[in-house]
């Protein structure tokens, strides 16, 4: 019996992944802060930033069968919390899940972790090597306290946390690969979700980004889910340790704008 886990499953891109993947395993475990009520799947409540909560999810996966895939879409955006909480949920939560599921990895297991195009935007004007080294180790003692002290802007914290998610998935590709598993990340740009619309209302730069997106529109959650479905499938069996930007060309559009 195979098991797929989708976090952030109640809405947005996570819910689109549930709908796309529900027939790809014997059991789909839909995870969110409150257990999602979705017909045909098992809803589980979990705060991904809490180790005990994550352990309960992993225990349930072990009870159900063979671990097939993790689709980790859970996260919070800059308008939802302060810098410390952004790092705690978006980065530390990712690391906790990857570490906790590692013992269950077997040949064919895979993970897709959701980062963000913001991870690329933050380095457009040059990479801060010191910060890059800092976010590389979310397991370090006092990491969250230091992160809160270093980042007083939740938007910047979000971008760096998501950059670090890319690195966490890449490291997991090495660790999971020893047992025959794979791990990748994706970086969505402007996607038409409730969380995305909330950011649009709060941050004028979002409209600038949309105006400079070559495809000229927002992405749809189902388009992201289609990519995820490919990455966790056997068709992607030689793809591991990479990030895929899903932004309609938005990063290049911004670069062109800045040059002009």
Beta bridge partners of 110: 69, 182
DSSP tag of 95: H
Q: How would you class 132 by CB atoms within 10 Å of its CB: exposed for 0-12, middle for 13-18, buried for 19 or more?
A: middle
Residue of 114, 143, 158, 160 with catalytic role: 158
120 is catalytic: no
Q: Which residues contact 54 (CB under 8 A, 6 or more apart)?
A: 46, 48, 93, 96, 97, 100
Side by side, the strands of the sheet bearing 243-246 are: 42-45, 27-32, 2-7, 66-72, 110-114, 182-188, 243-246
Asked whether 227 and 189 are in contact (CB, 8 A), the reply is no
Q: How many C-beta neighbours within 10 Å does residue 42 have?
A: 16
Contacts of 193 (CB under 8 A, 6+ apart): 11, 12, 13, 221
Contact 194, 218 (CB under 8 A): no
Give the residue from 69, 57, 44 showing the smallest Cα distance to 229.
69
Output DSSP code: residue 191. B
Q: Which residues of 182-214 are buried (b: 16+ CB within 10 A; e: fewer)?
A: bbbbbbbbbbbbebbeebbeeeeebeebbebbe
Active site residues: 158
């Amino acid at each position: 019996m195979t098991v797929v886990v989708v976090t952030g499953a109640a809405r947005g891109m996570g819910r689109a992944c549930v709908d796309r993947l529900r027939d790809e395993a014997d059991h789909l475990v839909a995870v969110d802060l409150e257990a999602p009520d979705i017909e045909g799947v098992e809803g589980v409540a979990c705060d991904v930033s809490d180790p005990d909560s994550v352990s309960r999810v992993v225990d349930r996966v072990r009870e159900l069968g063979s671990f097939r895939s993790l689709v980790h879409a859970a996260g919070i955006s800059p308008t939802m919390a302060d810098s410390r909480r952004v790092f705690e949920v978006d980065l530390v939560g990712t690391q906790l899940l990857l570490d906790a599921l590692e013992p269950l990895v077997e040949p064919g297991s895979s993970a897709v972790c959701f980062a963000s195009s913001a991870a690329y935007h933050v380095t457009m004007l040059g990479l801060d090597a010191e910060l890059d080294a800092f976010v590389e180790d979310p397991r370090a003692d006092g990491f969250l306290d230091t992160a809160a002290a270093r980042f007083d802007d939740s938007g910047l914290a979000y971008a760096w946390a998501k950059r670090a998610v890319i690195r966490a998935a890449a490291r997991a590709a090495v660790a999971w690969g020893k047992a025959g598993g794979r791990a990748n990340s994706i970086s969505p740009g402007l996607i038409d979700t409730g969380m995305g619309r909330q950011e649009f209302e709060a941050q004028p730069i979002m409209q600038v980004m949309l105006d400079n997106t070559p495809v000229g529109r927002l992405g749809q959650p189902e388009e992201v889910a289609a990519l995820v479905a490919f990455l966790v499938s056997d068709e992607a069996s030689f793809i591991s340790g990479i990030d895929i930007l899903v932004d309609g060309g938005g990063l290049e559009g911004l670069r062109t704008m800045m040059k002009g």
